Amino acid sequence: MVDTSGIQRRGVLKGMAAVGAASLTGIGPAVAATPTIKIGLVMPKTGPLAFFTEHIPFVLDQVKATYGGKITSGGKTYSYEIVVRDSQSNPNRAAEVTQDLILNEGVNLVATFATPETVNPVADQCELNGVPCISNDAPLEPYFFGRHGDPKKGFEWTYHFFFSGEELVKALLPYWKKLGTNGTVGGLWPNDGDGIAQSKGFPPAIEGAGFKVVDPGRFDMPASNYNSQIGAFKAADCEIISGVLPPPEFTTFWNGCAQQGYQPKSVYVGKALEFPATITPFGDRANGLTTEVWWSPTSPFSSSMTGQTSMQLAEAYEKASGRQWSQPLGFRHSLFEVVFDVLKRAKNVTDPASVREALKTTNLKTIVGTVDFATGPLPNCSLTPLVIGQWSKGKKYPYDIVVVDNTNFPSIPVGGEPFVIPYS
């Protein structure tokens, strides 16, 4: 019953899209023989997650240089257009603009990235409207379970590649063991997609490895201060902090730690500590902060689009933008590697089901590792390699990420030994 109505609705939507396309060509002066392929791109251009989008202009330039506005698929050459929409870092807004892309722009495929707050609502809209969606840069569990995915069934239209929370905690544990702390971990997990997922998944894994977890509870952001959390961590003598916060929130927390004289030995905060732009203003207080490393210039992978090695990609970005490389660069690049690989392999690129088939059978060696949705660990997902790094004084830039633990992926070289934060 539900299924039938779904098909009918999809049929209606297709009809609407066809009407939209027809009216568009009617207005246009020149009627092209082949339709333009439209790629929708939803991203948080503004708002607290805006940090995630700084590489997009560079990567879009690379795409332009590689394809020049034309792609060949199924023996035909199509021109393509990338239609960008701003989610304003707001999940509701992300859903709205996706609907607009699907219903008004009639996009053939939607690409998106940057935290479950962006990716989940966008993917949900695509699933609902039967449009293929490819995404990355949100851990697999909040992506899959945050959208109430059933591991037995999976999703029909939406595919995703990134590291997983399980993989993250597996990468952190050997690193923490090497540090020589009292083994008490303070959890800084807010009331959002990532925070809730980690607060459920991390404590059993961390405690299973012989550590103790202190979790003061979920909190809403923006938080005016972190006094209570810091007080609780201080009272329990937590020497390790593990959390996930957007960059401005971490600044509030880290300044609060200094105000309260709290000096943990190791601080890992996902989302916040990946970016030089957040790290550099801390000056000496950036030294030794921990980040997970999903891509770095020392990664042993290269691009299927430009043939660049990771190091070459980072250098090209630094030269073009004048800014320091950061991890999302690799994933922005790989997102378009997959998008164009899928469009090229689709038997009939104008047919959503055909694009979906191509997406489903992706097996591509990208700059972030192999993307293959058949490998799991969850349906519709592909896991990419993850190691642990720390910020330390760099040669080219004030602070740079050094990979300090590669227990799970020995093929990614380490650049130094793990160290505790040297408060000076």
Partner 1 sequence: MGELANQIVQGVLVGGLYAMYAMGLSLSVGVMRFVNIAHGDLIVLFSFLILALIHATGIGALPATLMTLPIAFVGGYFLQRFLLQRVLGQGVLPIILVTFGLSIIIQNGLLGTFGADTRRVSGGGFETATLRIGGGINIGVLPLTIFIVAILMVLALDWLLYRTRLGARIRAVSDDPATANLVGLPSARVYATAMGIVGVTIAISAGFMSIWTNFDPTAGPSRLLIAFEAVVLGGLGSLWGTLVGGIILGVAQALGAQIDVSWQLLAGHIVFLVIFLARPEGLFPKY
Pick the closest to residue 338 from 107, 162, 128 (CA basis). 162
Q: Does 235 bind partner 1 (CB under 8 A)?
A: yes
Please identify which residue in 204, 222, 394, 413 interacts with partner 1, judged by CB under 8 A. Answer: 222
Pick the closest to residue 154 from 144, 139, 141 (CA basis). 144
Residue 271 Cβ vs partner 1, minimum distance, rounded to whole Å: 13
Q: Pinpoint the alpha helices (H) of 296-404.
A: 310-321, 328-345, 352-360
Residue 349 Cβ vs partner 1, minimum distance, rounded to whole Å: 35
Q: Cβ distance 97 to 110 under 8 Å? A: no
Site for partner 1 in 380-399 (CB under 8 A): none
Closer Cβ to partner 1, 131 or 230, answer by number: 230
Q: Does 72 bind partner 1 (CB under 8 A)?
A: no
The contact mask relative to partner 1 for 87-116 (x = CB under 8 A, - = no) is -xxx--------------------------
Closer Cβ to partner 1, 175 or 233, answer by number: 233
Tell me the one-letter amino acid at 57.
P
What's the number of CA atoms in the CB half-sphere (13 Å) around residue 149?
26
Q: Count interface residues toward partner 1 (CB under 8 A).
A: 38
Cα–Cα distance for residue pair 127/92, rounded to 1 Å: 16
Q: Does 220 bind partner 1 (CB under 8 A)?
A: yes
Residue 52 Cβ vs partner 1, minimum distance, rounded to whole Å: 12
Residue 89 Cβ vs partner 1, minimum distance, rounded to whole Å: 7
Cα–Cα distance for residue pair 238/185, rounded to 1 Å: 5
Instruction: Mark 225-236 as b/e (b = at least 16 C-beta within 10 Å).
Output: ebeebbebbbee
As a whole number of angstroms, the longest Cα–Cα distance in the chain is 72
Residue 181 Cβ vs partner 1, minimum distance, rounded to whole Å: 20
Look up residue 72 and give its two tokens: 């060949």
The contact mask relative to partner 1 for 236-265 (x = CB under 8 A, - = no) is ----------x-xx-xx--xx-xxxxx---
Q: Sign of dihedral through CA atoms 255, 224, 122, 323?
A: negative
Residue 259 Cβ vs partner 1, minimum distance, rounded to whole Å: 3
Stretch that binds partner 1, among 17-25, 83-91, 130-138, 287-295 (CB under 8 A): 83-91
The 8-class DSSP code of residue 302 comes to B
Q: Does 216 bind partner 1 (CB under 8 A)?
A: yes
| Binding positions for partner 1, rule: CB under 8 A | 46-48, 50, 88-90, 191, 216-220, 222-225, 227-229, 231-232, 234-235, 246, 248-249, 251-252, 255-256, 258-262, 281, 285
